[in-house]
Amino acid sequence: MPPSIHPVDLIASLRQKHLTPAIVFLTSRRACDEAMESFDHADIVLPPARQDAIAAALERVIAQYPSVAEHPLIPTVQRIGVAAHHAGHLPSWKIAIEELMRQGCLDAVFATTTLAAGVDFPARTVVITQSSIRKARDFTDLTVGEVQQIAGRAGRRGKDQVGFAVVTPSPYIDLGVLTKGLTGHPESIDSQFAISYAMVLNLLKAHPHEQIQGILAKSFAQFQLNRRAESLERKLDTLHVQMEPFGPRVCTDWITQWQTFDQVRRQRPQRHQVHRQESPELSARFHFMTPGRVVGLTRGRGIVLRQYRSKGQKNPMISVLRPDGAVTECPATTVADIFDRVFDCEETSAFPWCSAAAFDELCYQLTELPTRLPILPILVPKDSEPLSDAIVQSMGDFPCPTCPSRPACQKDFTIAHRLRQEQHRHIKSIQALRASLWHRFQERVEVLQKFGYLSPSSQLTEDGEWARLIRIDHSLLITELIRAEAFTGADPALLTGIMASIAHDDDRPGAFPRISTGLSSLLGQVRKLAESLSPYEDPPLLRADVAALAERWIADPNLTWIGLCRLTTMAEGDIYRLLARTLEFLSQIHTLRATHPGLADSASKAIALIRRGVLEELP
Amino acid sequence: MTTDELEQLLAQQPVAVLHRLARGRVHRHFRAGKRRLIELLLQHSSQNLAGLESDLQTLIAERQPPAQPARSPGRAAGRAPAPPSKQPLPGGGEPGIGEPAVSLAAWLEGLGVPAPQPFVPDPWQNEALRALDDSDVVVSVPTGSGKTYVAVEAARRAMEDNRTVIYTSPLKALSNTKFTEFSRIFGSDKVGILTGDRQENGQAPLLIMTTEILRNLLYDAASGEIDVRLDTLGLVILDESQYLADPERGVVWEETIIFCPSQARLLLLSASIGNPQDIADWLSSIRTTPCRLVRHSKRTVPLRAGYLHPNGKLVPLFKTAAIPHGHPTHLHPEAKRLFIEYEEETLPSGRPRR
């Protein structure tokens, strides 16, 4: 089975079911062009009467827009009644196709999904072949709104009783996305409010700094932020209600109180973990097993050489000198008696834990000991609880251990603590939501002050006064270029080249063989400046090939449109859009005629030179 | 078609046709003889009678000489008044008894050109125009419902009161189309256009521009460079205002609305969006005039969804002829089967889709 239906078969089956005229949305421009090519040898030609009707309609359009006449697709359009309509075509061609579609001459139009919003003509049927759309170099699933916008083209008012949206599978399709899109409820839209440098300058020109917060508060962004803040506030209120049963205790802020108390309490046992295992007798007696002390073990007696704690379990241990001269390690628990007799013992850090002389001396003393020795009386604290004692001692600051509401606090703490954390989080985000736009505005103001467009008191400086008239993308780069006098003495062609490279935001490849040295060095400067401005403004692509293309169009007034198109691999429609956008940028520069007469003059010359050929013919 | 009829029809077919029909429906059909195959297909038909029938008809039609394409199911309901088919096979027109899914013929029914009717504005269009007398209006209706009519009528009424009207659209191409259209309606001396690269008839009472241009005009007015056109401004129409959510350009719509002079009415025309009430509430909150929302979700021309298989077979996409709103899983069993078949055949096994 083919991965997707062949365009010829598609049109044939649509015709057979009387589902024409149709708009077929394809993935890419290339897919549209290939679909058109596949009709080259197709035999599904229209009857002569309809072919004549198309020819007549085309002639009427050509009379208005002569550039349509040489379009390579015209034979196919006439013969089969299908056409391609995408951003790679000139606007005149698109107008022609739209006109033919409106008159009902065509059976199908192949269009790209990317341009679905710009396809402003209805048909009986819409064919959908994909469920994703190219957005910023990446494919993302169509949203419900987009699917409905595409499907919405089906069904012409007054010409159709029913419209049809036909899904046909291709490797780019996920049926789930489309069925959800067709049956679903469109998404909510969110504000995309962004504060640009031009906006800051224009606002500060018209309004004093203090009023701006009020103006920003009128934006849909702030409206939606407030909505979110309000919903958070409602949550906060319910949290307050939930907190009520936990209120008032002996201390004012019992949650914090208990939290710190609890933390300290948790840390305590860890430090004393070892001792908790020991019986009170043992810990009392262990203090007396000092080096030189005579102790009674289960078998015979010995002299303590050192006391220590075992490595893993930290059991209290002693090293004992036995009467036969051996040194044994035994746990303190095996000590039966502690005698009231201590010898001097010069301790050392290594085996046998005392100096050699002391060792011999102790061996001798041990054999000489009398059979009966007095036992050391050791008092063991019987009824005291060392654990809580320790806490009470170390936590003198905390009232909790003796507080009457302690059991209640202990029980409620986890829930109350969670609620309080949520409360704090909400309060913080509400503050952030209420003030975020203003903060962003202030950030921009600081940057503009740094560059000298605004005075420290947020008044427009001389530079600011003219810079506010540049209200396009990359305005900071353009105004900085003007201030750096990069365009001084630059002829209209150079200016156009630079503006084109700033204006062009498409990354489709397009080759151009030569770039003049003047333009390339100027473009190098622009790149350097854009790089240095990148912390404050995203740098444009600054492509050399589009700059060269635009420059050539201005520099060579004899260059025809066809000649220009031959110089590059870019599609006609892309070149047109590039020049049209450049024109817009130049007309912004032209508004600076009061302060920069030379530059504005150069811009107006460039504008006059751009408007020729195809660009003049079109609206 | 009853089961008996179907059985008879199947019995008339050669076994090769039955095997093709059984493909994807009956497990290991190639082992069955003709009688067994018919049995199995009849068993299957209890699940999806419509699909089986339409497939059978296609297969029969393929076997007929191609000189008679009149038997294709679409033709039965086509705009030409086709004579009723005399073939033993019914055209699949009547949905079978207890059949859950819509048949192709029923789905295609109504295809064609309606009888010419005098234009009568829809209730929502009248509502929007009435509301515009004393408030701002947000219109959110599906694509192709006739927003332009509202724009044209509103502009006409405002111009009769000697007020300036500004109409903005997001794309230059759309502005140009509207310029041509409005010039035809109001006369070319009444309509002007201002875009980044085109300025014509800039003092006309109805001005078409891109939203960016209007924003710039409003900024200039705010900083003291008074434009006479803004003094008499009576109506601002923002077409395609769902662009408010455009990541790059959405801000321009907000600026325009914030700085729109208070004496001018605002008319926001938008495709269907999820939260039009929010936008109306926002306008009410920042402007002196209240704002009304006119919302309408039913399409003027009803929409149906179909599924076209790469082999040229057309079936309805959903069980019902109309689109089942809120039920994306109510697929036509035949469309579902074909799509699964498509995926199995085109995609290497074990690889995730996409």
Q: Minimal Cα distance from A119: which residue of B?
A: B174
Percent of chain A topping pLDDT 70: 93
The predicted structure's pLDDT at residue B125: 93
* B98 pLDDT tier (thresholds 50, 70, 90): very low
B203 touches chain A (CB under 8 A): no
Percent of chain B topping pLDDT 70: 86
Exposure pattern of A545-561 as b/e (b: 16+ CB <10 Å)?
A: bbbbbbbbbbbeeebeb
Sign of the alpha-carbon torsion through A240, A246, A247, A251: negative
How many helices (DSSP H) and strands (DSSP E) are in chain B?
14, 10
Mean pLDDT computed over every residue of chain A: 86
The string of pLDDT tens digits covering residues A523-576 is 999 999 999 999 999 889 888 889 999 999 999 889 988 888 888 888 888 898
- Give the CATH number, domain containing residue A93: 3.40.50.300
Last residue of a domain, one of A183, A200, A219: A183
- Give the CATH number, domain containing residue A356: 2.30.30
| Residue range A285-301: mean pLDDT, rounded | 85
The predicted structure's pLDDT at residue B85: 41
3-state helix, strand, coil in chain B (%, to 5): 45, 15, 40
| B-chain residues near A550 (CB < 8 A) | none
The predicted structure's pLDDT at residue B326: 87
Looking from the CA of A243 toward its CB, the CA atoms found within 13 Å total: 21
- Give the CATH number, domain containing residue A580: 1.10.3380.30
A359, A495: one domain? no
Q: Minimal Cα distance from B242: which residue of A?
A: A189
Count of the separate structural domains present in chain A: 3
A11, A150: one domain? yes
Q: What are phi and psi of B41, to 5 degrees?
A: -65, -40
| Domain extent at residue A351 | 289-368
Chains A, B: CB contacts within 8 A come to: 259
- Token code pair at residue B201: 């008839």
Gap from A17 CA to chain B (nearest CA, Å): 5
With a cut of 80, say whether residue B225 has pLDDT above it. Answer: no
DSSP state of A116: G
The string of pLDDT tens digits covering residues B255-278 is 999 999 988 999 999 988 889 999
With a cut of 70, say whether residue A445 has pLDDT above it. Answer: yes
Is the Cβ pair A185, B279 closer than 8 Å? no
- Token code pair at residue A237: 């209120």
| A-chain residues near B193 (CB < 8 A) | 619
Q: CB–CB of B30/B14 below 8 Å?
A: no
With a cut of 70, say whether residue A376 has pLDDT above it. Answer: yes
The rounded distance, in Å, linking the Cα atoms of B94 and A24 is 31
The predicted structure's pLDDT at residue B68: 43
The string of pLDDT tens digits covering residues A588-617 is 999 999 999 999 999 999 999 998 888 877
The predicted structure's pLDDT at residue A277: 61
Q: Minimal Cα distance from B251: which residue of A?
A: A193
With a cut of 50, say whether residue B81 has pLDDT above it. Answer: no
- ipTM (interface predicted TM): 0.73
- Per the model's pLDDT, the better-predicted residue between A149 and B87 turns out to be A149
With a cut of 90, say whether residue B151 has pLDDT above it. Answer: yes
The string of pLDDT tens digits covering residues A473-487 is 899 999 999 999 888
Gap from A503 CA to chain B (nearest CA, Å): 13
With a cut of 70, say whether residue A273 has pLDDT above it. Answer: no
DSSP state of A400: G
Q: CB–CB of A605/A549 below 8 Å?
A: no
- Token code pair at residue A469: 């008239």
CATH of domain B123-295: 3.40.50.300
Q: Position A162: which residue type?
A: V
Q: Position A219: which residue type?
A: S
The predicted structure's pLDDT at residue B84: 42
**Residue A189 domain flag:** no
The string of pLDDT tens digits covering residues A152-186 is 888 888 888 899 999 998 887 888 899 999 999 88
Q: Residue A454, Cβ neighbours under 10 Å: how many?
A: 24
Q: Minimal Cα distance from A227: which residue of B?
A: B278
Last residue of a domain, one of A183, A207, A224: A183
- Token code pair at residue B304: 């149906």
Q: What are phi and psi of A375, to 5 degrees?
A: -90, 140
A135 touches chain B (CB under 8 A): no
The string of pLDDT tens digits covering residues A298-337 is 888 899 988 888 887 778 888 998 888 888 888 888 888 8
The rounded distance, in Å, linking the Cα atoms of A257 and A227 is 35
- Per the model's pLDDT, the better-predicted residue between A452 and B25 turns out to be A452
A478, A364: one domain? no
Last residue of a domain, one of A158, A183, A208: A183
In three-state secondary structure terms, A253 is coil
